[in-house]
Amino acid sequence: MSAPQPIGTVLEQAHAWLAQDPDDETRAELADLIARAEKGDLDAARDLTDRFDGRLQFGTAGLRGALGAGSNRMNRVLVAQAAAGFAAFLKERAKGATPTVVIGYDGRRNSDVFATDSAELFAGAGLRAILLPRRLPTPVLAFAVRQLGADAGVMVTASHNPPDDNGYKVYLGGGDHGSQIVAPSDGLIAAAIQHVASSGSVQDLPRSDAYEIADEDVIDAYIAATAAVGPAPSGAEGTPWVYTAMHGVGWETFARVLEAAGYPAPTVVPEQIEPDGRFPTVAFPNPEEPGAMDLAFATARAAEAELVIAQDPDADRLAVAIPDPSREEGWRRLTGNEVGLLLGMRAARAASGRRGASLACSLVSSPGLGAIARAHGLAFHETLTGFKWISRAPGLVFGFEEALGYLVNPETVRDKDGISASIAFLQLAAEARGRGRTVADLLDELTAEIGYYASGQVSVRVDDVSIIARIMAALRLDPPAAFGDVAVEEATDLLQDPAGLGGDVLRYALSDGSRVIVRPSGTEPKLKVYLDVRGDTAEDSAARLAAAEQAVRDLLARLG
């Protein structure tokens, strides 16, 4: 890690940033820090150094970070530089044609401001810019890129990150078919952004209000295509269920899809149904986080529901919960792997025998999907984490990632989509109910077909991301010979790229057939460890998983 810049250099950068910042709030914030630092306030100096000693990097996930003034935060200056750089990349790529770019935004703080700034800068750079008409889910933007034949799309969202974050997610049309960017495009875009940042003030960038507002037709088309994913079977009207939008933008669109597909309206969690970028009822607006679904469970108990459906704030993820009397709260949230395997089985049965059809999941997701593919004569692809990779699998009919992401409708949305996944899952649940079965029974049927797979995860959230790098380095220097009593048969470092994958991932194959995978999170300050086991019985697989989780915790405690 490089040494921090001298405070004099940081102050010069801060003054230059202040001079070009169009936002009254961040200008006031930065001016106060500068004044305090110049008077010798050490806390202010440290804060300024953190904001300017580096730059929020543009990568394959675009931009994502905390809101605030400075080059290492999300703000209007940074977004303007990103928009101008992305425009330059698109013009170079278009070879003289006029590129079209679609911009969407969710309900987070400043999402609408960043989206409007982007539309004005794209139009000012000579692009055809189309702004979606209001706050909408990320899958609608991903759909719009293909529906409108656009060259690119930008979604202003930080998905399920903490309330003070925002982000800038980029999609490419044409030969990329509306998928998120991958190398080398990410590097080229980052270089173009850096060129803009180094060339002068964002105040000098040309702007125009000659951008378009998308017609409602594109939203209507998304609703029709998504409703067609899983029309309600007969008997669906008898299923009582609960829905939460997690303070996000999913409900307006999802409600229309439900009506079009013929499903009964759910009981909603009223405290979480309207968009609210403060996310007042949850510590993290992520259905995976402890406590995030407590209000949904309380609502479900009162409604005597049979199912809970939760979407994250930009509605690209889905969480499912089912009744479980053995638990104190009476409900159990299914893991992303459980939902993914159920939806994978649904897709495999529909595509069984279809030449070239495939299922795909990230390398940290359950190997059970491969067993499903083999059972139905389908191809199977294991990819790096992220739907930018899953969406590019040849012949894809279904893809998923254990972090609650599911791609069930690849002909229309080449990204994870919590709304279409919700419709597919509601159809599964309604069909099961029609034959006197439950979602829990579906899991038992799945196990009977592919065996007793169990998956778990150990996550370490840190304040200092250098801790993650230190742990990864220690594991590479001295690979573990065993996890608990189970020996490591093979250790693979994907940075060495033995299978053409690449990535900061360590994978361990154990002697009992289990596997352990370690990687830094791509969107949060977390180290994630994924565990997958297959046992002879449910009890055996649960015991193997518990032993592996404890061994991982012991190892991380020694390293951390």
Q: How far apart are CA 137 and CA 130, in angstroms?
A: 16
Q: How far apart are CA 556 and CA 560, in angstroms?
A: 6
- Which DSSP letter does residue 233 get? P
Q: How far apart are CA 342 and CA 449, in angstroms?
A: 12
512 touches 539 (CB < 8 A): no
Q: How far apart are CA 40 and CA 385, in angstroms?
A: 45
Q: Is the dihedral of CA 212, 81, 17, 43 positive or negative?
A: positive
**Beta bridge pairs of residue 460:** 527
List Cβ neighbours of 486 (8 Å cut-off, separation of 6 or more).
510, 511, 512, 514, 547, 548, 551
3-class SS at 323?
Answer: strand
Q: Is 205 left (phi over 0), alpha (psi -120 to 50) or beta?
A: beta
Specify the residue for token string 């044409």: 174
400 touches 193 (CB < 8 A): no
Report cis status (omega within 30 of 0) of the bond before 6: no
Which residues are part of the catalytic machinery? 159
Say how many C-beta atoms besides its own lie within 10 A of residue 125's C-beta.
21
**Of 426, 57, 421, 98, residue with least CA distance to 241:** 426
State how far the alpha carbon of 363 is from the alpha carbons of 106, 256, 346, 445, 534, in Å: 29, 35, 21, 24, 16
| Tokens standing for residue 243 | 């829905």
State how far the alpha carbon of 328 is from the alpha carbons of 299, 319, 323, 332, 538, in Å: 15, 19, 11, 10, 21
3-class SS at 3?
Answer: coil
